[in-house]
Amino acid sequence: MKLLIILFTSLLYGQNVMNYLNSPIKWTVGLTNGYDNNVLRLSEIEKKDAALDESIMGSTETFDSHYARFSLSGLKKIQLADRKKQIQFYAKGNISNYTQNENRRYWSGNLKATYRWGSYRKLEYSIRHLDSYYIRHYIDRDVSTDELASCSFTDREQRILVSYPIKRRLWTSGFVSYTQRYFDKPFTEFDLDIVTTSMKISKKFRGFGTIAIEGKYGIADNITFGKTAKASDLDRSYKHFEWYIPVSYSQGIGVLDEVGISLRLDIRLYGAETMGDPLHSGRSHEEVKWDIWGEKELSENLTLKASLRYRKRTTHSQFDWVSELKTFDQVLAWVILEWDMIYDRY
């Protein structure tokens, strides 16, 4: 962080700083109305057994839930003496609430500082925070074989990203991120430090839109393995590889100004190997996400966005009952209304 501040300061030094700071701030208010048909990510077997086994649902009464989200973001652009160079500061905060699941209420936010020195040329540093994101209730096996406890985690991610052009309307970008995924008590045996690298190639086609392909590789280290109570005897470390292919069509279809579709494939391999715990050891999964979205500009300052996602996780294990228990699918749909405002006190 100190290095980033020094870099930005040196870029501004010797210029008429106040003239460049006197630029407006773009504020955006967002309201999201959404639906999740499988909030707890239950398998078909768990759904069938939910009425007989109260440990599956915890304190929740429905599989699905409506949710609402309020967001506020601000963007500040500082144009430097060289008109190709620009510094941007961006901040965003979200508050989310699930109507049928009172445990899934959380806030998140991120900060970004970006230096641009031409088309597709940028250096960016970002910080993201996800606060106490609820998964579901699990049995706390450090205490008993039937006592349920709420399981939530908090993410703190730092990321450095670089983008650079290859040739006209073709560019590449890549990032390195460090995520601290720490679980609330009593499930601290799942704490992870995750390092991820990514490389993405994007191409903009005249009269069409943009197509990209991205590959990610990450290593998650279970930092509390063997350090807490008996539940930490299993190593929850894993490696994962992800493909992401988004396609956006910017020429409009019907009433929509822009539409898009994307495919995301995530393969995760767990490191645990112990015959004493067949539920967790020797397990891997493949997760596929299909997204379809559309966008409509209602006015100069008002935009409507709609998205639909299908998610399928297939678990692989040498035990068929483990595969069936941990395989699930999920459908999410949401609509976002965004209102842009410009604040210029000068």
pLDDT tens figures, 145-191: 678 899 999 999 999 999 999 999 999 999 999 999 999 998 998 99
pLDDT band with cut points at 50, 70 and 90 for residue 20: low
Q: What is the pLDDT of residue 148?
A: 87
Q: What is the largest CA-CA distance in the chain?
A: 72
pLDDT at 16 over 50: no
3-state DSSP assignment of residue 27: strand
**Structural domain total, the chain:** 1
Residues whose CB falls within 8 Å of the CB of residue 150, separated by 6 or more in sequence, listed in order: 58, 103, 134, 137, 184
pLDDT category, 14, cuts 50, 70, 90?
Answer: very low
Tell me: pLDDT of 249 over 90: yes
Residue 18 has pLDDT above 50, yes or no: no
- How far, in Å, CA of 310 to CA of 318, rounded? 27
DSSP H/E element including 8: helix 2-12
Least confident window among 18-27, 161-170, 206-215, 316-325: 18-27
Q: Give the mean pLDDT of 82-91.
A: 92
pLDDT grade, residue 338 (50/70/90)?
A: very high
Predicted pLDDT of residue 21:
58
Terminal C-alpha separation, the chain: 30
| For the chain, percent of residues with pLDDT exceeding 70 | 88
pLDDT at 27 over 60: yes
pLDDT on residue 35: 98
Alpha-carbon distance of 121 to 295, in angstroms, equals 26
| CB 273 within 8 Å of CB 282 | yes
Model confidence band, residue 230 (pLDDT cutoffs 50, 70, 90): low
Is the pLDDT confidence value at 11 over 50? no
Say what the pLDDT of residue 4 is.
Answer: 47
Average pLDDT rounded to a whole number, residues 90-94: 98
Lowest mean pLDDT among 64-73, 154-163, 171-180, 227-236: 227-236
Q: How confident is the model at residue 125 (pLDDT cuts 50, 70, 90)?
A: very high
Q: How many helices (H) and strands (E) does the chain have?
A: 5, 14
Look at residue 290 in the predicted model and tell me its pLDDT. Answer: 98
CA dihedral 203, 255, 334, 209 (to 10 degrees): 0
Triad 44, 49, 55: Cα angle to 5°: 110
Can you spell out the DSSP letters for 95-126? EEEETT-TT-EEEEEEEEEEEE-STT-EEEEE
Alpha-helix residue ranges (DSSP H) falling in 117-180: none
- 208-235 b/e (C-beta count within 10 Å ≥ 16 → b): ebeebebebebebbbbbbeebeebbebb
Q: How confident is the model at residue 23 (pLDDT cuts 50, 70, 90)?
A: confident
| Domain boundaries, position 245 | 2-343
| CATH number for 194 | 2.40.160.40
Q: What is the pLDDT of residue 15?
A: 46
pTM to 2 decimal places = 0.89
Output the pLDDT for position 277.
Answer: 63
pLDDT digits (tens, 9 = 90+) for 254-295: 999 999 999 999 999 987 766 556 666 678 899 999 999 999
The structure tokens listed for 41 are 């990510």
CA 214 to chain centre: 15
Is pLDDT of 99 > 80? yes
Per-residue pLDDT at 3:
46
Work out the average pLDDT over 59-88.
Answer: 93
66 pLDDT band, cuts 50/70/90, is very high
Is residue 331's pLDDT more than 70? yes
Per the listing, tokens 């429905």 go with 62
Find how far residue 81's CA is from the centre of its chain.
Answer: 36
